[in-house]
Chain A
Amino acid sequence: MPFFAESYEIVVVGAGHAGCEAALACARMGCRTLLLTLNMDGVALMPCNPSIGGTAKGHLVREVDALGGEMGRAIDDTFIQSRMLNTGKGPAVHSLRAQADKKQYQRRMLHALQHQQGLTLKQGEVADIHTENGRVTGVTTTTGALYPCRAVIVATGVYLKSRVIIGETHADAGPSGLGNAKSLSQALTGLGFALRRFKTGTPARVDSRTVDFSKFIPQPGDERIVPFSFLSPRLEREQVPCYLGYTTQETHRIIRENLHRAPLFSGDINGVGPRYCPSIEDKVVRFADRERHPLFLEPEGLDTLEWYVQGMSSSMPEDVQYRIYRSIPGMERVQLTRLAYAIEYDCIDPTRLRPTLEAKEVGGLYFAGQINGSSGYEEAAAQGLYAGINAALALAGREPMILSRADAYIGVLVDDLTGKGTNEPYRMMTSRAEYRLLLRQDNADLRLTETGYRIGLASSERYERMCDKRQGAQDLIQRLRSTSLRAAQVESVLGEESAAGILAADLLKRANVRYTDLAAACPELPQVRQEIAEQAEITLRYEGYLLRQERQVEEFKRTENVRIPNNIDYNNITGLRIEARQKLDRLRPETLGAAQRISGVSPGDLAVLMIKLEQMRREGKK
């Protein structure tokens, strides 16, 4: 029999990266929030790679930070190596990545949760979600505690009915030897959600005493560290290297000879796995002509001898795993401290969600993270924050915070998931963002902090810093546009003779000219912070591209701002082709822009739809 435990405004189910951000956002926005985790030792666990960020993912972390989230500050406090990737390839794809000390990261996040006012963190498994008149009213745990609440955020990660597969061995378990959640799947089915099986995997961890690191190429961190958080001060820290190595022909031979024992190929795994995160056996089969595949050794933390072997995820039986790993130069005697495994889990179809991540059919029920078919800590954190913010706004009767594809990677993420859905675990990539020259990691604060401040999540300190940076960049750009360098000054910047003076702004447009060079040559130019100089450099150098993208965004916004009423009946619109009718009816886009992005909706269909909308608007007026 359930007993009445305590009532909350919001209950967050799961304390992974999505759940942590969601719970913190809700509590910080003034909602009494309960965060339930399957295991107190699993809070903010990083069950796979020991790093945060990377291409596009690093952008997400900075956006989470700019809105007032926790992940950026947590990793800044606990990283043991930091790198800005892609620095030679253009500003849109500069991406920050940091190696985390996993245990420290967990402790750091746990500290934030436990010290957050208005937030209660408890161990407990949710068995049921209660609704009344299509709205959430509470949750019950497997031990019978009933928590009445007005909103629920489901952030269960890969724990729903998860199954861990190592060769012929299957275990009814969660990742890293933790337990799984057995009851909630049925509750979700009962609420009308069709569940799907997705699959992901992780490589083995190895004992570093049994690795000959001299056979690997060291990968050091950056000398000049750029923090994730816009609030973090300049950081200096001793860093540890990672190591690069390669598989051999022998590795590939072993894999090929044992394919019949790989559950992936023997049919034991039914879940859909991601293409971008293939197991080593998958890589060897699909890219048979490759002579070697790269792998990276990454420390799991400072006070452990366990290292992570990136690139070598597998679900082969234990004996085969040993043979595979030991075929790598430098790992001939390696001991595996944890075996590689594949994991299958239940997730929902995210097209059943509104652009706020609230379920279309159940008011107050939000979903975030891997349960939505995404993958990755950063994708999870971004959704958690987004769902948390929107749940809190909704309970306060305020307008939702919708980020569009032109605002943020978070917007791209949510729009892709809710608008198109996904057939495999979804990973963010910069190539998914149409306006990526505008959505850079360096301007995440300029794009989002004002919004974060307005909704009451970003602090005033954060807001003022952003304003200061924005103003500083504007002033500097104006200054550069009105300052000319004399011929001699130009010469000292370019190192070549110059016949006449040149406008500072034009000089900065040349490749390899940095603002510091100009400031050194021209005393009229002010000394500014690096982040301000960087904004001026990018704004001036990529002016043409930025303008083109801004124009595209303008076009985009025109259709994005036209709302489609919930009660529209697509089956009664003559002129829509059948395919368009079915897809629109299934996905029920909320804006004309979202309708436009559905594959199978033609420009003709769109015109028909617009006319229908106008008819509806006029009838509504009468």
Chain B
Amino acid sequence: METIASIATAVGMGGIAIVRISGPEARNILTRVFAPKNTKRGMRSHQLTYGWVVEGEERVDECMAVFMRAPHTYTTEDVAEIQCHGGRVAADRVLEAVLHNGARLAEPGEFTKRAFLGGRIDLAQAESVMDLIGAKTARAAKRSMQQMDGDLSRRIHQLQDQLLDTVAYLEAYLDYPDEDIEEMTAEQAALRVRAVQQELGRAAGNARAGRMLSAGARIVLAGSPNTGKSSLLNGLLREQRAIVTAAPGTTRDLLREELDLNGLPVVLVDTAGLRKAQDEVESIGIGRAREEIDRADVTLMVLDAAREMDEEERALLKKVETPLVVAMNKSDLERRLEKEQVLALAPGAWTVETSAKTGQGLDALRRALFQAALQGASPEEAYLTRERHVQAALRALEALQRAQEALASATLDCAALDLRAAWEALGAITGANATEDVVDRIFEKFCLGK
């Protein structure tokens, strides 16, 4: 039995959103994503606990969480609920954390379905759920109508169509061994599948851009203290707010600021604050800074252009794997550092000359950060914007990979199953039923029969 999760409250309504998790892994997932404030007390069944949803070291949101052991729960399974701040972004991030930790996105009505199948359902609750489902499907219908004309549906349909052709080909070949079907070799099928994989892979890649446009990007600021980083940050924030004065004694490890980058919501995390606070244990600080960098959507590294890079800066440049923007700051001073030196260490980086003092290069820096966040994708290419769609695309990609393996070992019956699974995963976006479509396609395309 899979563990499912989704946002149980209406999107964008009310001050509190509830992310609900149901299934055997509910407890484990909650333990992984939720850090209670009072660590000693432990979580008791059916009792609300205060704490934070965390991803690694970062606190995603301040929350209340409850775990309810089966069977006295809505679905009769183990259930966990996280009450987080309302609004799309916060709830989506919490849900994302839950999905990354082993839950599958629930289908519409799936909690109710499980509740019913478990032989228990609270009638009052059920009635209200019914209303909610009604509302949801009405909205969903409207949304899918919009998507019908839109890019998403058209593109996904195209991919499904290509898959369906390949499935029909394989199935016709399997079901009609005597017929004169131009033999579709495994290699040919593999080629066709490869094309879909590439397109879908691109879409899933761009989905990152799509999700960022709606949910925001996380930019981690790196660089030595004397590079003028704080001033640059303040310049980006367009207001003088000394981030180093963040109230001491707060539990925040890292300094976070939010800003709007040409329409892209951004969270800026400054790892330098961390280093300063932990001078004595610098090595730990660096380690954690690097961890932050690993989890960033974009790393912004600030260098002092008026001096040579030191060892640590060189090492960091080489190590960063996320999209990287290098601000060569203090460009108003005599230059001792060239762009080529940076690119030699980090070939894919965007480099921008800035001067926090004069304000020169700030607009260019904003553009570079924007491009790095979207990784060159234009916002128009980012048609997979919803987590649900991305998950579907990833499931499809997984199935396609299996199909390739099956094709390579000439088990065409398995390959056909995998291709259908991929088709159906995409069907979660467009909404369609595979079997009949495959049968229809077979007869449309092939001349079969006695």
A positions within 8 Å CB-CB of B? 48-49, 55-56, 85-86, 88-93, 95, 203, 246, 274-278, 283, 286-287, 290, 292-294, 296, 310-311, 313, 429-432, 434, 436-437, 511, 542, 545, 549, 554, 558-559, 562, 575, 577, 599, 602-604, 606-608, 610-611, 613-615, 618
Contact = CB atoms under 8 A, between A and B. Distances in A.
18 contacts: A89-B410, A90-B410, A90-B414, A90-B415, A93-B413, A293-B180, A293-B447, A429-B175, A430-B171, A432-B435, A511-B410, A575-B130, A575-B134, A604-B136, A610-B113, A611-B121, A613-B116, A614-B126
Given A607-B133, A614-B126, A542 B116 contact: no
Given A429-B175, A431-B435, A610 B447 contact: no
B179 interface: yes
Contact of A294 (B175, B180, B412): B180
B123 A606 contact: no
A220 B108 CA distance: 54
**Most A-side CB within 10 Å, residue of B110, B176, B178, B442:** B178
B439 A431 contact: yes
Nearest to B442: A431
Given A90-B414, A599-B433, 4 more contacts: A246-B180, A283-B447, A293-B180, A618-B123
Interface string B306-342: 0000000000000000000000000000000000000
A607 B108 contact: yes
Contacts of A287: 447
A93 B180 contact: no
Contacts of B178: 85, 294, 296
A296 B173 CA distance: 17
A603 B450 contact: no
B410 A88 contact: yes
A86 B129 contact: no
B112 interface: yes
Nearest to B448: A276
A604 B134 contact: yes
Interface string B100-141: 000000011110110011000101001101100110110010
Contacts of B57: none
A562 B117 contact: yes
Given A85-B177, A432-B435, A575-B130, A90 B113 contact: no
By size class, the interface of chain B is: 35 or more
Given A294-B179, A432-B435, A545-B414, A611 B449 contact: no
B416 interface: yes
Contact of B126 (A88, A277, A602, A611): A611
B415 to A, nearest CB: 8
Given A90-B411, A575-B134, A430 B109 contact: no
Nearest to A542: B414
Contacts, number: 151
Nearest to B411: A90
Contact of B133 (A88, A542, A554, A575): A575
Contacts of A577: 137
B180 A292 contact: yes
Given A575-B130, A575-B134, A604-B136, A277 B413 contact: no
Interface string B405-419: 000011111111100
B413 A436 contact: yes
A92 B411 CA distance: 9
Q: Which of A286, A542, A545 has the most CB of B within 10 A?
A: A545
Interface in B1-46: 1
A595 B177 CA distance: 34
A525 B443 CA distance: 47
Given A90-B414, A93-B413, A511-B409, A277 B449 contact: yes
A419 to B, nearest CB: 12
Given A90-B413, A430-B175, A511-B410, A611 B112 contact: yes
A90 B412 contact: yes
Nearest to B107: A603
Contacts of A86: 174, 177
B374 interface: no
Interface in B128-167: 129-130, 133-134, 136-137, 140
A611 B116 contact: yes
A311 B116 contact: no
Contacts of B180: 246, 292-294
Contacts of B411: 89-91, 542
Nearest to B140: A604
Given A311-B449, A604-B133, A431 B410 contact: no
B413 A614 contact: no
Counting chain A CB atoms within 10 Å of each CB, the highest count among B413, B443, B450 belongs to B450
B136 to A, nearest CB: 7
B436 interface: yes
B99 interface: no
